[in-house]
A and B are shown apart, each in its own frame.
Chain A
Amino acid sequence: MEVPYTDTNRPDTGLYNAKVGIWLFLASEVMLFGALFSAYILLRVGAMPGHWPTGLLDVGPGFVNTLVLILSSVTVVMAWASLKLNDFKKFKFYQGITVICALLFVVIKSFEYKSKFTHHDVILKDGMRVDGHLVEETDEFIVLSHPVSYPAEKGIRERAVAIKEAEHHAHEAGGDHHHEDRKIMLDDIEKRTTWGPWANTYLAIYFTLTGLHALHVIAGALVIAYFWGPGSKMWKTHPEQFANRIEVSGLFWHFVDLVWIFLFPILYLL
């Protein structure tokens, strides 16, 4: 006996196995991201006054990435609809765009990550603190662009505002703002870190949420790419089952998009 209902619907539930499977899996994903959102809220509500930044991230790349994911969600569902209309060429076209969007998303994300990892947070021996982007490093000194300095104990919320302003000014001043760079001797430095997840609780949850989400994007993209490439042979032999697979992988992809719809405002805007 073979396992039944792999490609046909079971009469009483009206579903095929994989559809039940993916929705159950998504239910567990809801709990996974749900727990992370709860953690986010708890950490944010529990943060000491002035220790939860807003506007630390550039809205631009986040905004573009949101659009990229929305577009990919549309193409995924269009790819499935094309199969249902028996139009394999269109399927290839739409799903191709999906994969490109996924790649684009990851690339943009990694540039964002990089800009955080090159952000330096330097505490000087004289009790001041300098934030800026590393542009040069030698054995004796470092050079930071867009430097902002204030007393070391200043909370991350106010620092974020000051940093935003400094970058804003630099932009208005045009491309030539190198005169603003600041050179700091290593001897003057008490402590120096970058804006990785260790820097503060906000960045910690930011990297964890987006990192986990990015893993989902990559996993989903791999599956979709497989069904776009080698896996699409199945269309010839088992069209119904192939359409089901596209539907199921699409459901996963929509979920990934859906998570991002919440991540974008809570991390970038609020």
Chain B
Amino acid sequence: MESTDSHVHHEDGHGHHDPGFWRKYVFSTDHKMIGIQYGLTSLLFMLLGFFLIALMRWSIAYPGQPVPVVGYLLHAIMGDMASPVLDPQTRELIGYAISNDLYNSFGAMHGTIMVFLAVVPLAFAAFGNYVVPLQIGAPDMAFPRLNMASYHLFLLGGLIMFASFFIPGGPAQAGWTSYSPLATSIPTDGQFYWLVAMVVIITSSLLGAVNFIATIIQLRAPGMTWMRMPFFCWAQFVTAFLLLLAFPPLEVGALLQLMDNVAGTSFYLPTGLAISTLSDVSGGGSPLLYQHLFWFLGHPEVYVLILPAMGVVSEIIANNTRKPLWGYKSLVYSVLVLGFLSFIVWAHHMYLTGMGTKISTFFQTTTMIISIPSVIILTCLFISLWGGRIRFNTPMLFALAFLPMFGIGGLTGLPLGFNYSDILLHDTYYVIGHFHYVVAPGTIFALIAGIYFWYPKMTGRYMSEFWGRVHFWCSFVFMNLTFQPMFAQGMAGMLRRMADGGVGYSIANNPDAIGGLADRYLQLNVNITLAAYALGISQIPFIINLFYSIKNGKKVESDNPWESTTLDWQTPTPPPHGNFVGPIKVVNGPYEYSVPGAKADYIPQNQKA
């Protein structure tokens, strides 16, 4: 027995006999290992991003009050950006609070890290790397070494960003958008780190995008025609194009700002710019140029955040309803149209920059048109549930929750797309509520669903179902308690990016002002903060489950434990280098579930009915 076992291993290993620790885990060119590297790194960044917002929420709910315990740590790392708080009577030091500067830094870093270092790499790079080659029946990505380089660049960019926490002055403070001239005038080197890190991360994404597209175009297994490709791969394909063509303008945006910062140019600095005194710059630049370059990526970026999530959800729903996705073709065409249109809607983020009515109308129109394919996709997924024999396992619970949560996120976006309502809602907590419904209970739920779903393929074991359910229900409840009140606060006029959570604008502090914030909205700050902490605690079962189950989870019964049709499950577990044991020939569409007259209720893509 034993000898045959090791023999088999050697064949699978394909001449890569025991590549050694470094080659196997760090300098791997295997798409699955790279996917896992991306996954773990981005989960760590996500934790960091959450940690930052947890501190910010403290400052919002209890402005000026010392942060328990962590305050001392902050002071040790960030120095006086964590401002000392003295006891009013005894004048003794009682702890450290979050200064406005620190709040700004953390806000900028929360946004940047969550978007560019956590969700995109998890959704696109991690899941894409692990699953896409498997689903299209390819032995690896088209350019394995380029793939490794992408991950290393990503890691480098992330580390540069992370390093900026430890420099004097702290990280960038100008929001994740880094608008000029604000970004150029804040006296911290953090902005320099931010820009360099962004250029590196963008380069990494570009290489990754090239690789994904080339893989999907070139390496589909024989018989895997475009219309037999699982929807997840379509979503990743479009996502890759978004990254490929939308990221370069932001790279230009970052490079020009870098020039402004280090070479003294005035690309974004207008003539006569004065920051307390007249700036000593040549002037002649255009602040709006930056905003255009930023949002030319910025908008497609939100589809980069959401499309892979839709892909994951589609796979899980098809699998757990045991029936084909309803309207596969509509899904595919919708995602293509969505990708296309997402390039011409960007200035809906700029209604307040003094655009004329003609151009506003143009962008408002395209924005409304782009909501159509999103609605089609969501509708198809909802209808797919109809009449299914639904298996309510953990991945499915998360996938199901995605639908209404993304629905809320999407529908609350419409008032932001019309310029006359956006003028009121812009820069309020309504916006924060809107896009967090899209990215947190939307995308992140979908990604968590994906982790529970593909975990058995990666490790050969299930994650605990019980703790999965605990994780789901707690996350679901607290997620909504966190973000739902933000809509109310925003509509009451509470602005975002305020370290004191709006106390400065309260009726109590400005009795004569019109439209001051009523106490009941400020009170919500505390509720939200507590809900956010509970949300954080709810992730603990997940984290433990994730690591504990590697060795101790319930073993899978077969290579295809979910009885799925797609090729990613027609491999050994975990898939060896090269993925498949024999040549693959695809003969079926992606979702042949419950075919009348078939032996089982699913027919894998590579098996004759």
Residues of A whose CB lies within 8 Å of any CB of B are: 1-5, 10, 13, 15-18, 20-21, 24-25, 27-29, 31-32, 34-36, 39, 42-43, 46-48, 51, 196-201, 204-205, 207-208, 212
Contact = CB atoms under 8 A, between A and B. Distances in A.
Nearest to B206: A28
Interface residues on B, range: 35 or more
A208 B263 CA distance: 10
A39 B256 contact: yes
A29 B247 CA distance: 10
B259 interface: yes
Given A3-B144, A25-B206, A32-B251, 18 more contacts: A2-B139, A2-B578, A3-B141, A3-B142, A3-B219, A15-B218, A16-B218, A18-B143, A20-B218, A21-B210, A24-B210, A28-B206, A29-B248, A32-B249, A198-B263, A198-B266, A201-B265, A201-B283
A39 B244 contact: no
Nearest to A24: B210
B289 A43 contact: yes
Given A3-B139, A3-B219, A201 B267 contact: yes
Contact of A39 (B140, B264, B267, B271): B267
B99 interface: no
Given A17-B214, A24-B209, A36 B252 contact: yes
Nearest to B290: A39
Interface string B230-271: 000000000000001111110111011001000111110001
Contact of A208 (B140, B143, B256, B289): B256
Contact of A46 (B219, B245, B253, B286): B286
Interface string B543-576: 0000000000000000000000000000000000
Main SS class of interface, A: helix
Contacts of B211: 21
B164 interface: no
A153 to B, nearest CB: 13
Contacts of A34: 248-249
Contacts of B51: none
The 9 closest A-B pairs by CB, nearest first: A198-B264, A1-B139, A204-B265, A35-B249, A32-B248, A31-B248, A201-B284, A35-B252, A1-B578
Interface in B195-235: 206, 209-211, 213-214, 217-219
Contacts of A16: 218
Given A21-B142, A35-B293, A196 B206 contact: no
B139 A208 contact: no
A82 to B, nearest CB: 27
Nearest to A5: B218
A237 to B, nearest CB: 18
Nearest to A201: B284
Interface core residue of B217, B247, B281, B578 (most chain A CB under 10 Å) = B217
B255 A208 contact: yes
Interface string B262-297: 011111000100000000011111100100010010
A20 B264 contact: no
B264 A196 contact: yes
B50 interface: no
A42 B296 CA distance: 15
B11 to A, nearest CB: 12
Contacts of B244: 24, 27-28
A18 B210 CA distance: 10
A32 B214 contact: no
A207 B214 CA distance: 34
Contacts of B252: 32, 35-36, 39
B97 to A, nearest CB: 39
B579 interface: yes
Given A28-B247, A208-B256, A35 B284 contact: no
B467 to A, nearest CB: 37
B296 A28 contact: no
B580 interface: yes
B285 A43 contact: yes
A35 B218 contact: no
A167 B266 CA distance: 28
17 contacts: A1-B578, A17-B143, A17-B214, A20-B142, A20-B217, A21-B211, A21-B214, A24-B209, A24-B210, A24-B213, A28-B210, A32-B248, A46-B284, A196-B263, A201-B265, A204-B282, A208-B255
B248 A199 contact: no
Contacts of A2: 139, 578
A16 B143 CA distance: 12
Interface in B512-563: none
Interface core residue of B139, B214, B219, B579 (most chain A CB under 10 Å) = B214
A200 B282 contact: yes
Nearest to B271: A48
A28 B263 contact: no
Interface string B387-406: 00000000000000000000
Contact of B209 (A15, A18, A28, A198): A28
A1 B193 CA distance: 42
Contacts of B259: 197, 204, 208
A200 B264 CA distance: 10
A34 B246 CA distance: 11
Nearest to A208: B259
A57 B188 CA distance: 36
B378 to A, nearest CB: 30
Given A28-B244, A198-B263, A201-B267, A47 B213 contact: no
Contacts of B210: 21, 24-25, 28
A34 B141 CA distance: 29
A197 B251 CA distance: 19
Interface in B474-502: none
Nearest to A26: B210
A27 B245 CA distance: 7
A31 B249 contact: yes
A48 B293 CA distance: 22
Contact of A48 (B142, B264, B265, B284): B284
A34 B244 CA distance: 13
Nearest to A204: B265
Contacts of A47: 284
Contacts of B140: 3
B214 A20 contact: yes
Nearest to B249: A35
B289 A39 contact: yes
Interface core residue of A20, A25, A35 (most chain B CB under 10 Å) = A35
Interface core residue of A17, A24, A205 (most chain B CB under 10 Å) = A24
